[in-house]
C-alpha cells in the first residue's frame, strides 16, 4: 500500500518549502533545483498564515496558487500545511485571551510561534475558517499529495492554564467522572483536605505551595494531550469533508512527553516525525534516530511512515551546533528507510536569510548550490531514493515488542517517588540493548494486539490498567515470553496503588511479590549474580555478575524459579531475576533492578534466547542491519556502516543484489566508512 497515492509508488523526497519568505523571482530556481535534486514532495505553507490572511477580513491565496502551479510543472507534489501553527499578530491583538498561560500564571506573548491556547474559541474559529478555505481551494489541485495539520503540536507551548483551558478542563473532567463525588474518590481528595463541593472549584494544577495532587496532575496531562488532539481532529475533519481521499498527517516528535501519540496515531492516516540526532554525539545520535524511527513506525502497525524533517547538516537551536560530516546525512536518510520510512524530508528547502533559523542547514544553503557539498549530497540521496522505489509500502516485522505507554510515563515521573526515575532513559537503554544486537523491536501499547511477537518487554510500566495487565498475562499464557521489570504494575489507571504486594496487577502472572523497594541513587550499590542453575540463562549471560542501577527490591517467590540473586545490601541472596513457566510454553520473567548498558545487553540476549528470537544477520558493532518486507514477499536487507572506517560484513547464507550499486552481493560485503547497501534478497 502506498502512503501517498499521488507519488505513484515512489519514495517521498523533499522538505519544508517556505516560498512566502522569498521574492517570487527566486521560485523558478527553487523548482528547477528541486527537479535536478530528485525532490518530489515539499511541505508548503506551515508558517504562512499571516501571508494568507493579513487581517481578519483580507485573504490572499494568489501567490500560493502560483506556487502550486510552478511545483506541479516541475513534477513536485505538495504536502500542504494548514498554516495554523503560528497565528498572525491580529489574533493576539483582537483576542488577548487566546494567548497561552503557564502554571505560574505567565502569559506567553507574540514574537515567536505557537502563541495560542488550544482551547481558545476564537483561535479555533479562525483556524477552522482558514483550513476550510485552504481545503476547498486546493482539494482538486493535481499537485496536492497530503495534508500537514499544524506543526509539531505543543512543541514549545505544551500546557495552558489560561481561562479557556480551565473551563475546558472542567468539562473534560465532568465527562470523565460525571459526578463531583466520583472525582473526589478518583483523585483521593480526602487526603490533605481537598474534597471539592462543585466543579467550578477545580483548576488546572497551577503552581501550588507543595506537591499537587498526583491524580489531578495526571488527569491534566491527559486533558492537555486530548485538547491538542481535539484541535488536530477539528482541522482533520474539515479536510476530510472538503478534500476527501487525501491523506492527513502531522509531524510528531517521537518520544515527546506532553502528547500521547498512541491516541494521536489512531487519528492520522500515516505517521511522520522530525528526526534531529546531534552530530556532536554521533554514537548516541545513531541510536537516537533509530529508536525514534522504531516508535514512529510502531504507532501505525504495518504501515511505513515519513521522516518529515531532519537537518541536512547543523541545526541552530542547541548550545553547540556541529555540522554533519560528509556522508552522514546520506547514511541517516538510508537509516530512516531501513527502519520503515517511505520518505525522507528535511527542514528546510532553502536556508533563510533572516529570522530565528537562518543558521539552520538546508537543502539549498546560503552559498551557490553548484559549489556546496551539502547540496551535492542532497542530489545524490535524491538519485538513490529513485533506485529504492521498490521499498515503497514495505515494512519492518519485529518479533520483539517493548511496552510503552504515555500514561505510565506521566505517572512514573510525578513527584514523591522512592527515587526520581527517568522513563525515557530506561526505555532507550532497553531498546538500545536490542538495537545493538540487530534485533528489531516495535513499541506497543499495553493493550495492543501482541500476537505477532515472541518476546514482550515491559520496562518500568508503573501505571497499568486491568485490561493492560490481562493482555500481558494472556500473551504469556498463549506461549509468549514476557519480561517485566521493577516499578511495573504498581498503580492502576487512576494512579491508585494496587495493594497486597507489588506489582499488584502482575503478581500472579510473574509468580512473585515485592515487599519493599531499595532505591540505589548514587550512594548505594548492588550486583545481580546468576545462580547458574539454568543453562540457557548462563549461556546468554556470559558473566555471572551484572551491576545494578537506580533501583532494587526485596522479592518473595511464590511460583517461579530464581535465575539470579542480589549479592549485597539488605537483600543479599534474595531473588533479582525470576522466571515462571506459564502454561506449556509461556514464560514470565521478572527483573527486580535497573542495569547499566552492558547489563541490559546481557538481559536482552538472555530474553531473546528464552523466546527463540535471533537477528537476521549477526554483524559487528556499529553495523546496523534491518530487514524490510513487502506483502508480495520481497525482502530488502539494509546494512549500514556507522563507522568512520571501512568494514567487511559476512553475509552468512544471505545472497542478493544491492539496489544502490546494482551489483550482486556474495559471501562478504565490503562497505566504506559511513557506507551502506540495500540488498534485495534472493
Ligand atoms: C522543528 C520545526 C521546524 C524548524 C525545525 C528546526 O522541527 O518543525 O519548523 O523549526 O524544528 O530544526
Catalytic residue among 152, 495, 553, 610: 152
Could you tell me if the CB of 357 is within 6 A of ligand 1?
A: yes
On whether the CB atoms of residues 99 and 107 are closer than 8 A, the answer is: yes
Residue 1: pLDDT band (50, 70, 90) is low
Could you tell me if the CB of 226 is within 6 A of ligand 1?
A: no
Q: What are phi and psi of 383, to 5 degrees?
A: -70, -40
Kindly report the protein residue whose alpha carbon is nearest to atom 3 of ligand 1: 347
- 657: helix, strand or coil: strand
pLDDT tens, 78-113? 999 999 999 999 999 999 999 999 999 999 999 999
Could you tell me if the CB of 278 is within 6 A of ligand 1?
A: no
Q: What is the pLDDT of residue 666?
A: 87
Question: What average pLDDT does the chain have?
Answer: 96
User: Which of 41, 53, 62 lies closest to 86 in space, CA to CA?
Assistant: 53
Query: E strand or H helix at 378, and its extent?
Result: helix 373-387
Domain ranges of the chain: 5-159+222-391, 164-216, 400-611, 623-681
Statement: residue 211 has pLDDT above 50: yes
User: Which of 315, 389, 353 lies closest to 38 in space, CA to CA?
Assistant: 389
Q: How far is the CA of 271 from the centre of ligand 1 (A)?
A: 17
Statement: residue 537 has pLDDT above 70: no
Indicate the CATH number for domain 623-681: 2.60.40.1180
Statement: residue 539 has pLDDT above 80: no
Q: Compute CA distances 134 → 48, 116, 146, 478, whole Å.
A: 12, 20, 13, 50
| 45, 274, 323, 361, best to mutate for ligand 1 pocket (most atoms within 8 Å of CB) | 274
Q: How far is the CA of 347 from the centre of ligand 1 (A)?
A: 6
Q: How far is the CA of 593 from the centre of ligand 1 (A)?
A: 38
| 45, 256, 357, 359, best to mutate for ligand 1 pocket (most atoms within 8 Å of CB) | 357
Kindly report the protein residue whose alpha carbon is nearest to atom 2 of ligand 1: 152
| 44, 152, 249, 314, best to mutate for ligand 1 pocket (most atoms within 8 Å of CB) | 152
| Average pLDDT of the segment spanning 40-64 | 98
Cα 560 from Cα 577, distance rounded (Å): 10
152: annotated active-site residue = yes
Kindly report the protein residue whose alpha carbon is nearest to atom 11 of ligand 1: 347
Could you tell me if the CB of 351 is within 6 A of ligand 1?
A: no
What predicted TM-score, i.e. pTM, was given to this entire model?
A: 0.97
Query: E strand or H helix at 196, and its extent?
Result: none
CATH of 400-611, one of 3.90.76.10, 3.40.50.300, 3.40.50.880, 2.40.10.220: 3.40.50.880
Residue 541: pLDDT band (50, 70, 90) is very low
Catalytic residue among 20, 159, 235, 309: 309
Q: Compute CA distances 278 → 283, 321, 379, whole Å.
A: 9, 8, 23
pLDDT tens, 242-258? 999 999 999 999 999 99
| CA 311 to ligand 1: nearest atom | 12
Statement: residue 592 has pLDDT above 70: yes
495: annotated active-site residue = no
Cα 39 from Cα 10, distance rounded (Å): 11
Q: How far is the CA of 20 from the centre of ligand 1 (A)?
A: 17
Q: What is the pLDDT of residue 252?
A: 98
DSSP one-letter string for 522-536: TT---EEEE-S--HH
pLDDT tens, 187-205? 999 999 999 999 999 999 9
On whether the CB atoms of residues 426 and 594 are closer than 8 A, the answer is: yes
Cα 414 from Cα 155, distance rounded (Å): 20
- Residue 141 CA, chain-centre distance (Å), reads 32
Q: How far is the CA of 311 from the centre of ligand 1 (A)?
A: 9
Cell numbers at 461, concatenated: 510500566
Strand-pair category, 455-458 with 527-530: unpaired
| Average pLDDT of the segment spanning 155-172 | 98
Statement: residue 540 has pLDDT above 70: no
Residue 400, beta-bridge partner list? 441, 455
Q: How far is the CA of 308 from the centre of ligand 1 (A)?
A: 10
Cα 187 from Cα 244, distance rounded (Å): 42
Could you tell me if the CB of 153 is within 6 A of ligand 1?
A: no
Q: What are phi and psi of 135, to 5 degrees?
A: -60, -50
Q: What is the pLDDT of residue 536?
A: 54
pLDDT tens, 17-38? 999 999 999 999 999 999 999 9
Q: What are phi and psi of 491, to 5 degrees?
A: -120, 160
Using CA atoms of 482, 485, 487, 493 in order, give the dihedral in degrees to the nearest 10.
Answer: -20
pLDDT tens, 617-676? 999 999 999 999 999 999 999 999 999 999 999 999 999 999 999 999 989 999 999 999
Q: What is the DSSP letter of 370?
A: G
Can you identify the CATH homologous superfamily of domain 5-159+222-391?
A: Glycosidases (3.20.20.80)
Cα 117 from Cα 91, distance rounded (Å): 11
Cα 279 from Cα 260, distance rounded (Å): 28
- Total residue length of the chain: 682
Residue 214: pLDDT band (50, 70, 90) is very high
Q: Where are the alpha helices (DSSP H) in 479-632?
A: 507-510, 535-540, 597-611
Cell numbers at 391, concatenated: 521499498
On whether the CB atoms of residues 519 and 551 are closer than 8 A, the answer is: yes
Domains 5-159+222-391 and 400-611 belong to one CATH topology: no
Residue 463: pLDDT band (50, 70, 90) is very high
Amino acid at each position: 500500500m502506498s502512503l501517498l497515492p499521488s507519488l505513484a509508488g515512489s519514495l517521498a523526497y523533499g522538505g519544508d518549502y517556505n516560498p512566502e519568505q522569498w521574492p517570487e523571482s527566486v521560485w523558478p530556481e527553487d523548482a528547477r533545483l528541486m527537479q535536478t535534486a530528485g525532490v518530489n514532495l515539499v511541505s508548503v505553507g506551515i508558517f504562512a498564515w499571516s501571508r494568507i490572511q493579513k487581517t481578519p477580513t483580507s485573504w490572499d491565496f494568489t501567490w500560493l496558487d502560483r506556487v502550486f502551479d510552478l511545483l506541479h510543472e516541475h513534477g513536485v507534489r505538495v504536502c500542504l500545511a494548514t498554516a495554523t501553527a503560528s497565528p498572525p499578530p491580529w489574533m493576539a491583538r483582537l483576542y488577548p485571551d487566546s494567548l497561552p498561560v503557564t502554571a505560574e500564571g505567565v502569559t506567553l506573548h507574540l514574537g515567536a510561534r505557537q502563541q495560542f491556547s488550544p482551547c481558545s474559541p476564537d483561535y479555533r474559529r479562525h483556524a477552522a475558517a482558514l483550513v476550510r478555505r485552504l481545503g476547498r481551494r486546493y482539494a482538486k489541485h493535481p499537485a496536492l499529495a497530503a495534508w500537514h495539520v499544524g506543526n509539531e503540536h505543543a512543541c514549545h507551548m505544551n500546557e495552558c492554564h489560561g481561562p479557556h483551558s480551565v473551563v475546558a478542563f472542567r468539562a473534560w473532567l465532568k465527562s470523565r467522572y460525571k459526578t463531583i463525588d466520583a472525582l473526589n474518590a478518583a483523585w483521593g481528595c480526602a487526603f490533605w483536605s481537598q474534597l471539592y463541593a462543585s466543579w467550578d472549584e477545580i483548576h488546572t494544577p497551577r503552581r501550588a505551595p507543595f506537591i499537587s495532587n498526583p491524580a489531578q496532575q495526571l488527569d491534566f496531562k491527559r486533558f492537555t494531550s486530548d485538547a491538542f488532539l481535539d484541535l488536530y481532529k477539528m482541522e482533520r475533519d474539515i479536510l476530510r469533508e472538503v478534500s476527501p481521499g487525501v491523506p492527513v498527517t502531522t509531524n510528531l516528535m517521537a518520544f515527546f512527553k506532553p502528547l500521547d501519540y498512541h491516541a494521536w496515531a489512531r487519528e492520522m492516516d500515516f505517521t511522520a516525525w522530525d528526526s534531529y540526532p546531534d552530530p556532536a554525539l554521533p554514537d548516541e545520535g545513531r541510536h537516537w534516530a533509530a529508536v525514534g524511527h522504531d516508535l514512529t513506525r510502531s504507532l501505525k502497525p504495518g504501515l511505513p511512515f515519513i521522516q518529515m524533517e531532519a537537518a541536512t547538516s547543523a541545526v541552530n537551536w542547541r548550545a553547540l551546533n556541529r555540522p554533519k560530516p560528509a556522508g552522514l546525512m546520506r547514511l541517516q536518510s538510508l537509516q530512516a528507510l531501513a527502519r520503515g520510512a517511505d520518505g525522507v524530508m528535511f527542514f528546510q528547502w532553502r536556508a533563510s536569510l533572516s529570522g530565528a533559523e537562518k543558521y539552520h542547514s538546508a537543502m539549498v544553503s546560503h552559498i551557490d548550490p553548484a559549489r556546496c557539498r551539502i547540496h551535492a549530497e542532497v542530489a545524490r540521496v535524491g538519485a538513490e531514493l529513485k533506485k529504492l522505489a521498490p521499498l515503497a509500502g514495505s515494512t519492518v516485522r519485529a518479533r520483539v515488542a517493548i511496552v510503552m505507554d504515555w500514561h505510565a510515563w506521566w505517572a512514573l515521573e510525578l513527584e514523591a517517588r522512592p527515587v526520581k526515575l527517568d522513563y525515557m532513559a530506561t526505555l532507550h537503554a532497553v531498546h538500545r540493548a536490542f538495537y545493538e544486537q540487530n534485533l528489531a523491536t516495535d513499541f506497543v501499547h499495553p493493550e495492543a494486539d501482541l500476537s505477532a511477537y515472541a518476546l514482550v518487554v515491559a520496562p518500568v510500566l508503573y501505571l497499568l490498567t486491568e485490561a493492560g495487565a490481562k493482555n500481558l498475562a494472556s500473551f504469556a499464557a498463549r506461549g509468549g515470553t514476557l519480561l517485566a521489570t521493577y516499578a511495573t504494575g504498581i498503580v492502576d489507571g487512576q494512579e491508585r496503588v494496587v495493594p497486597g504486594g507489588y506489582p499488584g496487577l502482575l503478581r500472579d502472572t510473574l509468580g512473585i511479590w515485592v515487599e519493599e523497594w531499595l532505591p540505589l541513587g548514587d550512594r548505594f550499590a548492588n550486583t545481580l549474580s546468576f545462580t547458574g542453575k539454568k543453562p540457557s540463562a548462563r549461556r546468554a549471560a556470559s558473566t555471572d555478575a551484572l551491576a545494578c542501577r537506580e533501583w532494587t527490591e526485596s522479592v518473595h517467590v511464590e511460583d517461579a524459579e530464581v535465575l539470579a540473586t542480589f549479592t549485597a545490601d539488605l537483600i543479599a541472596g534474595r531473588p533479582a531475576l525470576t522466571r515462571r513457566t506459564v502454561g506449556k510454553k509461556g514464560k514470565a520473567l521478572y527483573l527486580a533492578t535497573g542495569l547499566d548498558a552492558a547489563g541490559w545487553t546481557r538481559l536482552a540476549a538472555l530474553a531473546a534466547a528464552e523466546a527463540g528470537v535471533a537477528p537476521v544477520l549477526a554483524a559487528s558493532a556499529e553495523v546496523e542491519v534491518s530487514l524490510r518486507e513487502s506483502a508480495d514477499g520481497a525482502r530488502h536487507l539494509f546494512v549500514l556502516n556507522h563507522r568512520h572506517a571501512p568494514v567487511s560484513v559476512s553475509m552468512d547464507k544471505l545472497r542478493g543484489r544491492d539496489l544502490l550499486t546494482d551489483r550482486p552481493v556474495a559471501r562478504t560485503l565490503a562497505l566504506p566508512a559511513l557506507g551502506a547497501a540495500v540488498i534485495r534478497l534472493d
